[in-house]
Amino acid sequence: MSAVPGSRGSGISPGDTPPVSIETPPSRALYILYSHYPSDPRLRRQAEALRDAGWEVIVLCLGVPGEPATYELDGVCVVTHQRKRYRGKSVSRYLFEYLHFFAWAMRESYRRRRDFRFVHVHAPPDFLAFASLPVKWAGTPVLLDIHDPTPELFAERFGIPRGNAIRISRIVERLSASAADYILTSTEPMRRILVERGLPSNRVSVLLNLPEERIFWRDVIPAPPQRPVLAYHGTLVPRYGPQVLLEAAALLAPAYPDLTVRIIGDGDQKPELLARAALPDLAGKVTFSPERVPVNRIPVALGRVTAGVVANRAEGFTSVILPTKLLEYLALGIPPVVVRTKTIDYYFPPGELLTLERPEPRLLVEALRPLLANPELGYDLVSRGRGFFERYAWNREREVYVKLVRTLVEQGTCRSPDGGITPKKT
């Protein structure tokens, strides 16, 4: 695959500072995230990019039952906090679990504080940036990666109206950013939100969530399956719309009795989705993966698919994310159907995607009918959507990321008088 990012690429311009030699002896990097490393594609891509550049990489993350406390995965050392991830609706319980992980990560950071030349913290929670302070005080630069805008995510996840809780979360966001030397985020619309809320524009850049070509890319678009298959993969929560897919499948089932649905992932909504799939109108038509699937197993788990569904809500924080599953469908040659958002419009010109205006089952049904009636239309859909990869690709972004890390290590801080690293203007 060849892809040349265009003028609206990653947005990171690390300046003209010559890279630091990191091969002999190997430099060591620390990653901290409140998630499960094997199934977190963004962190795995970044950690493996540094591994390939000669770094020794250690990750502090959540573990799952049956995993050892410390293990190696594809050349990366993974140290796990053996505590089951809470999935529920209690704000206080979430905060307690966040703080429990925070205390463990800070203790581990303190123990290893002189071992690292670079630290990359992934949020949420934003305040996890403070767990890196023992390493930062030892002179190591810290990069904070804000995946999602926490105030909007907080309000949507718990149904909390904008008020004191949202104002507090914005204060925490700014304070957390101040604890880091530089900030990454995942889309240009999200970067603009962070800058509007007071983060310095010359310390915030975009690194897109792009598929790893070695795992996902298929040069030849696969033939559609003989029987119609609809798919969803990712976190199972209402804001990403797996329930919309099930309701649409129930409406389509009378006309397509051999229709099947594949749902791959785990999340708060899984019990509800299992119960819905067991009702008579969908019984026997829906399969679920037993757990969260590691990134490198997703292509096999998906298999051949008529259409991959991305039914994110069109408002709130989901409007500023670029769904990774959308890009993975395109890379695998799976025709996607996606809800239109301002971020989709930013990265995809009109006509490149099959979109719907809102995540509603009947709208999804109408979008899917032509594709189900003539699966060969999928070739055209994928070919048009793959125009994205002529503008953006991970094999290019990974070089930008490694160069950013090298520059941070050499400068030690991004707050130098000459501006240091500044985002590309868009």
Per-residue confidence band for 98, with pLDDT thresholds at 50, 70 and 90: confident
Q: Confidence band (pLDDT; 50, 70, 90) for 380? A: very high
Full set of structural domains in the chain with CATH? 12-210+393-423 (3.40.50.2000), 213-390 (3.40.50.2000)
CB atoms within 10 A of CB 163: 9
Amino acid letter, 421: I
Contact 61, 39 (CB under 8 A): no
The answer to whether residue 2 scores a pLDDT higher than 90 is no
Residue 149, pLDDT score: 73
pTM of the predicted structure, to 2 decimals: 0.82
Tens of pLDDT along 226-259? 999 999 999 998 989 999 999 999 999 999 999 9
- Answer yes or no: are the C-beta atoms of 173 and 197 closer than 8 Å: yes
Let me know: does 310 contact 183? Beta carbons within 8 Å.
Answer: no
Range 341-354 average pLDDT: 95
Cβ–Cβ under 8 Å, residues 338 and 345: no
Confidence at 221, pLDDT banded by 50, 70, 90: very high
Q: What is the DSSP string of 58-126?
A: EEEEE--TT--SEEEETTEEEEEE--PPP-SS-HHHHHHHHHHHHHHHHHHHHHTTTS-SEEEEEESSG
Task: Look at 155-159, 169-173, 334-338, 343-347 and tell me which has the smallest mean pLDDT.
Answer: 155-159
Are the CB atoms for 314 and 357 separated by under 8 Å? Answer: yes
